Amino acid sequence: MNRPDLLERILSQRKLRTAQGRARVRRTVTRRDGVKVEVNGRWLTEFAGNDYLGLSQQFEVVSALQDGAGRDGAGAGASHLISGHGAAHDGLEKDIAQWLGYPRALLFGSGFMANLAVQQALLEDGDVCVQDRLNHASLIDASRLAGCKLRRYPHLDPEGALRQLKQSPEGAAMLATDGVFSMDGDVAPLRALSLVARMQQALLYVDDAHGVGVRGPDGRGSVAEARMGVEEVPLQLVTLGKALGGYGAVVVGSDALIQHLSETARPYLYTTALPPAQAAATRVAVKHAQRDHWRREKLQTLIDRFRSTAQGRGLELMASDTPIQPVLCGEEANALALASALESAGFWVPAIRPPTVPEGKARLRITLTALHSPQQVDALVEVLARSWEAIRRIRGAA
């Protein structure tokens, strides 16, 4: 017997990632104040997170978290179906279901767990899940772990989705898509996908992690923005760690589907419930997301300002009107150099590289929030443009 040495394998893979400029480094934030973060003793203006509405530090949300911990403790102590399901969990599920106009909701510890739960509980051998090629990794991994056939169609291509479904006529079918795509910032053609799903008797499942709170009437997300609901989209994922500023996820859907998930989904049955205090805080965040229209209005103003000034300086943007604003850099070395130059100037913007994005499509992933000021956006664009010009000049001379 001559098994591969796992340690040698991972060291070799690490060496290759380093040579390709694809090694990942974890940064530690020691203090946070709005969009300002302290990292390694320096204060940086962050354009890196997903707290789109600025609710993670909102004082009423934080007070609800503190009060909830004082009342219910630090954790739930058990899974939902044992003794861990509390009044705060129940109230949060009802609040989000009512907000989004769905019959029921089910709370999960994370969006990754929720996507796995949906596919494992509904799909089996012989079934198919057809997905946009740029869907979040959790949707892709969920299909593989569920044991169903995974078919992927070209990005934002309903006709491609139709072809893939037609090629798998046997077994049950699910058509899964992000609502807003996390690396490109564009929006799925949900009405066209709904028609495809209906034609092919497939269940349409939308992961709207980056849409709920930001898009649609009263922040109800991409599905509501497309004037659809539970009839067209029987299941929808809402993450609580993006625009709502907290942690966890909720799946909303029809009574029958949610009941089935609550009784059979392994990532729901066999894990401890979210801390009740976190659920209490998110209930307050939901109220703000519904009524604080000024947050979405300010955010959209900042998005428009960034795009107009960045394009005016010759930066290559993608077709996004969401808070996710990628700046294309080409090769990994360009993205890393630009991110480093921005950090030296006091801005934290992540460089996104393959395999997260396709080869030759490395980028800076700039995210805007309602807490940013117009002056901060202008300063970012100015440094970004000057740094990119300098990098291209150096690369051209090399």
Mean pLDDT calculated for residue range 157-166: 97
Look at residue 393 in the predicted model and tell me its pLDDT: 81
Q: How confident is the model at residue 396 (pLDDT cuts 50, 70, 90)?
A: low
Report whether pLDDT(286) > 70: yes
Q: How confident is the model at residue 397 (pLDDT cuts 50, 70, 90)?
A: low
24 is in an annotated binding site: yes
Q: How confident is the model at residue 206 (pLDDT cuts 50, 70, 90)?
A: very high
Rounded to 5°, the CA angle 258-263-269 comes to 110
Question: Which region among 145-154, 172-181, 348-357 has the lowest average model confidence (pLDDT)?
Answer: 348-357
Q: How confident is the model at residue 20 (pLDDT cuts 50, 70, 90)?
A: confident
Q: How confident is the model at residue 392 (pLDDT cuts 50, 70, 90)?
A: confident
Mean pLDDT calculated for residue range 64-68: 98
Look at residue 18 in the predicted model and tell me its pLDDT: 87
272 is in an annotated binding site: no
Tell me the whole-structure pTM to 2 decimals. Answer: 0.94
330 is in an annotated binding site: no
- Greater model confidence, 361 or 202: 202
Question: Tell me: the pLDDT tens digits for 93-130?
Answer: 999 999 999 999 999 999 999 999 999 999 999 999 99
User: Domains in the chain, please, with CATH?
Assistant: 27-53+293-397 (3.90.1150.10), 59-291 (3.40.640.10)
Question: Tell me: the pLDDT tens digits for 235-285?
Answer: 999 999 999 999 999 999 999 999 999 999 999 999 999 999 999 999 999
Q: State how far the Cα of 175 lies from the Cα of 165, in Å rounded to an integer.
A: 8
- Report residue 365: phi and psi, to 5°: -100, 95
- Residues in Cβ contact with 289 at an 8 Å cutoff, skipping those fewer than 6 apart: 53, 55, 99, 213, 219, 243, 244, 295
Report whether pLDDT(398) > 60: no
Rg (CA), the chain: 22
112 is in an annotated binding site: yes
Percent of the chain with pLDDT over 70: 99
Q: State how far the Cα of 329 lies from the Cα of 362, in Å rounded to an integer.
A: 6
151 is in an annotated binding site: no
108 is in an annotated binding site: no
